[in-house]
Amino acid sequence: MNTSPAERAEALIRRYFAACNDADHAALVDCFTEDGVHYFPPGLPGAPWRGAVAIADGWVWCVKTLGSRWTIEKVLAGADGREAVIEWTHWKTAVNEVLRGDEWYIFNDDITKIREIRAYYASPVNKGEPVNKLHDFDYQARGYALQAPSPAPKIV
């Protein structure tokens, strides 16, 4: 069955998030061009993350250290599949923090790898708040995840 470029872009983003949640280093590297870049708002040490290996290292560290889990809330992909934007939630279960935001994606020509991600947070990270979110936005009524997904089972 043929898929549209927009469907291929969304599938790649979902594969990337599954690899993040599984802390699967090899699968993460496989989602990016070798020279891929992940940009972040100010405040994240070492940002931006440059290169597929550095991006994979960063997310594996987050899962192991912060108990990170992610959900995709919304996806909009361009008809040509070259760009997409998503809304996500980052659940830092080991430190009881939740962060919401958006990311803009740029893909390679055949939509098999991510070339660039630009992350935008819904709000500055406020360590005094257990859930960082938009003020007075009804996440529950809009169908957003209110709990982190369960960790993947450990493979021995």
**What percent of the chain has a predicted confidence (pLDDT) above 90?**
69
Buried b (16+ CB within 10 A) or exposed e, 113-133: bbbbbbbebbeeeeeeeeebb
| Residue 143 located in a structural domain | no
For tokens 């043929």, name the residue.
Answer: 2
| Residue 141 located in a structural domain | no
d(CA 62, CA 57): 9
| Residue 109 located in a structural domain | yes
Kindly report the pTM of this predicted structure: 0.83
| Residue 48 located in a structural domain | yes
pLDDT of residue 155: 63
d(CA 105, CA 85): 6
pLDDT confidence of 59, banded at 50, 70, 90? very high
| Residue 148 located in a structural domain | no
What mean pLDDT, rounded, does the chain reach? 91
| Residue 139 located in a structural domain | no
SS (H, E, C) 60-124: HHHHHHHCEEEEEEEEEECCCCCEEEEEEEEEECCCCEEEEEEEEEEECCCCCCEEEEEEEECCC
pLDDT of residue 122: 76
Question: Can you give the residue range of the structural domain that contains 121?
Answer: 5-132
Each residue of 75-111: pLDDT tens digit? 999 999 999 999 999 999 999 999 999 999 999 999 9
| Residue 101 located in a structural domain | yes
Each residue of 121-140: pLDDT tens digit? 877 667 777 777 756 668 89
Work out how many domains the chain is built from and give that number.
1
70 neighbors 20 (Cβ within 8 angstroms): yes
| Residue 37 located in a structural domain | yes
Once rounded to an integer, what is the mean pLDDT over residues 45-72? Answer: 95
133 neighbors 146 (Cβ within 8 angstroms): no
Residue 11 belongs to domain with CATH number: 3.10.450.50
Once rounded to an integer, what is the mean pLDDT over residues 146-152? Answer: 85
